[in-house]
Chains A and B, each alone.
Chain A
Amino acid sequence: MLRVIAERLRQGYRTGQFPRVEPKLPARFRGLPELTPECPPGCAECANRCPFGACELREGAPALDLGRCLFCADCPACPQGLIHFTPDYRLAARKRELLWRQPGKELDLAWPLAPELRRLFGRSLKLRQVSAGGCNACEADCNVLGTLVFDLGRFGIQFVASPRHADGLLVTGPVSANMRQALLATYEATPAPKLVIAVGACAIGGGPFRGSPEVTSGLDSLLPVDLFLPGCPPHPYTILDGLLRLLGRRKTG
């Protein structure tokens, strides 16, 4: 017992101050991409160069789909190097089409649930996590929210073992053909009203496996999605920020 106490004192108090204090992310962290609209006339290279189909021209300017973007360090999309990643980890959106990043336009970050749902879930949100064909990195960064650094429990959010106990599903992975039925059954087993949260590029749009006949190219083609959290995988703060926004516990913007 004394050894435990001594070790506890040495390890110190480590729970983070988020959301009161902004997290310090490493200098090389790749968050919200920024597009500089200085394309040479007639250039439409980006539409063909991203292997994951995250770029296209919209209204004559490049646009980037955060839902498909894997935040590659060696992003090949723009031959002019006009895409760069900022350290902004806030990427949550309520609608699939709001994940399009266009130059000069602010990202429309996730807004809170309707008052009725906020009343139900605002102080206690139980989620059933369904891992459906990914690489287990998104799962790892959801798990990490349970550690004392993030301490998800202090926000009243908890992962639960049974869909019957859950207020919603948090889905990761590109929904492999072999997980589709289990995912839909888990959704059915969750009592209404229920939320669906898509975490990571795979769940949002197939991610690196997009195009494989074994995966689905977007959870929103199977279930109504209430919150999209981009990234490969999303940083734990991206996930936490998104969950808190959904519950109306983050200032918008």
Chain B
Amino acid sequence: MRSKQSVRIANGAKTPVAQIPRLDYDTFADAVLAEFDSGSRVAAYFAAQAAEGGLELYAVMARERNANFALFRTPLGERFQSLTPNCPQLHLFEREIAEQFGVTPEGHPWLKPVRFHASWRTGHDAWGREPGTHPRPGDMEFYQVEGDGIHEVAVGPVHAGVIEPGHFRFQCHGEQVLHLEISLGYQHRGLERLLAGGPHPASNRQMETIAGDTTVAHMTAYSKVLEGLAGQPAPPRAQAIRALGLELERLANHVGDIGALSGDVGFLPTAAFCGRLRGDYLNLTALLCGSRFGRGLVRPGGVGFDLDGGLDGQLLATLDGVQRNTLGACRLFFATPSVLGRLEGVGRVSRSTAEDLGLVGLAARACGVPRDGRFFFPTGVYKESFDEMITDELGDVFARARVRHREIEVSLNLIQRLLNVLPTGETASKIGPLSPDSLALSLVEGWRGEVAHVAITGGDGHFRRYKIVDPSFHNWSGLAMALRGTQISDFPLCNKSFNLSYCGFDL
């Protein structure tokens, strides 16, 4: 019988690091690839300084069917055999490890920087760049198509609209896109390094600003990591209020996205209605906590605000009107033939591509890939109150729009149920000291997809490594694939249908 190769833990749980077997790299590689073959996928894959000295590689594999995560680890040398050729969804993770620690995944087919920052280990650079200088963003070899009539279109970092910076490089033949390469890193703020040695007094606000439109999801993931490390879950009422914040965040963004898609196809009525309605959901969040983006709502140990003084009734009453207008605006959108004609069949991602690339969240669900942390890895109120995972089939812009529409209905319904049966009791508990030499993880289904946070503490109970995986990290490759074979003029529409985060990716 083979000895135990991994540790399995539930969402929000912790394990002593010493219990995760330290496999040699070949055994690790075989075990991780076998885990992929059995239907698991990567939730996080990162390097850290080992307590024993040197580097370690951790794999966190999500096992949907078992509602748990498998953890693997191995010591990491200066060079290691890349697993990307066998498992494409690791491609960005291995590039990230190479960039952060200056190690080389040998045989990686696409080894380019991810965020264009200097290596965290001064003097070790995977690309042999000059130490002591800041890399130039976009300084890499872009994939190029050659031939008669082929041309290249470069867009960004500064874009035409009020949006975040990123660089897109299209290889085109006439109007047709043969390939799109996306090069990011412009929003890089060095977040993971700021968190080392934490939690710090500034950490709460940094978590809330990883991706501003995902404040509640990231802050909930962080809080659950701390609560896991302290062995002290938030009280039930706090968990319900967090879910309320999370669903309001989903509604604001989904409604805003339907409006933006509507604007992009030139259907102004729904664009105008949804632009305003998105603000109504943000204002509902502000009613709860004073901030339209949910800042201050979630705090480690619980929530910062209670639903007292009749606020639950006020929320329900306001929601009632907003709901009718939302559903009306969406109905009109999906009943308009000229809209549907513009959405259907555009920017298609096949189910197998989505699975290979490890897409998550609504982009995966739109391809028929069942991925929803609320359904597979539920915590808190989602354990009892969520069973309506929405999937679609064709993986095109239309499918991504329709998933949003149906999720809007589910979230509205969920919020009403939550407000009607809000648990009583405390809204926060004081968090005790964090368990030393432990690993805790949490996965929260934000509106784009899963937000995964992993913390490894040192002997003093402070973060030895804090890893953040925003859903956008999994999904940008999906957008690149969606563009293949489409018209370049469909890019804005495809981009909007994913609506990925630049800052969540860039950290």
Contact = CB atoms under 8 A, between A and B. Distances in A.
State yes or no: do A and B come from one complex.
yes
A86 to B, nearest CB: 12
Interface string B262-281: 00000001001101101100
A139 B209 CA distance: 13
Q: Which of A29, A137, A213 has the most CB of B within 10 A?
A: A137
A87 to B, nearest CB: 9
B269 A135 contact: no
B292 A135 contact: no
Contacts of A28: 286-290, 305
Contact of B286 (A4, A11, A29, A143): A29
A236 B289 CA distance: 17
Contacts of A217: none
Contacts of A10: 325, 328
Taking residues whose C-beta sits less than 8 angstroms from the other chain, chain B's interface range is 35 or more
A8 interface: yes
A51 B201 contact: yes
Contact of A149 (B279, B288, B331): B279
A128 B202 CA distance: 31
A52 interface: yes
Interface string B190-229: 1101100000111011101111110100000000000000
B189 interface: yes
Given A10-B328, A14-B276, A136-B213, A73 B187 contact: no
Contacts of B503: 133-136
A113 B160 CA distance: 27
Contact of B290 (A29, A135, A177, A179): A29
B117 A214 contact: yes
A133 B290 CA distance: 24
A11 B304 contact: no
Interface in A21-71: 25-30, 51-52, 70-71
Interface stretch (A92-100, A204-212, A242-250): A204-212
B286 A136 contact: no
B188 A74 contact: no
Nearest to A73: B296
Nearest to B263: A146
B287 A11 contact: no
B290 A173 contact: no
Interface stretch (B74-82, B161-169, B368-376, B394-402): B161-169
B162 A212 contact: no
Given A131-B165, A161-B160, A140 B201 contact: no
A102 interface: no
B287 A213 contact: no
Nearest to A7: B332
Interface string A116-137: 0000000000000111111111
Contacts of A72: 205, 295-296
Interface centre among A25, A177, A182, A212 (most CB of B within 10 A): A177
Interface of B: 115-117, 134, 136-137, 157-158, 160-165, 185-191, 193-194, 200-202, 204-206, 208-213, 215, 269, 272-273, 275-276, 278-279, 282-283, 286-293, 295-297, 299, 304-305, 325, 328-329, 331-332, 335-336, 501-503, 506
Lowest 8 CB-CB distances: which A-B pairs, in order? A137-B212, A73-B296, A28-B290, A135-B212, A161-B160, A51-B201, A214-B190, A147-B275
10 contacts: A7-B273, A29-B290, A51-B202, A131-B164, A135-B211, A136-B211, A136-B501, A144-B282, A147-B275, A212-B194
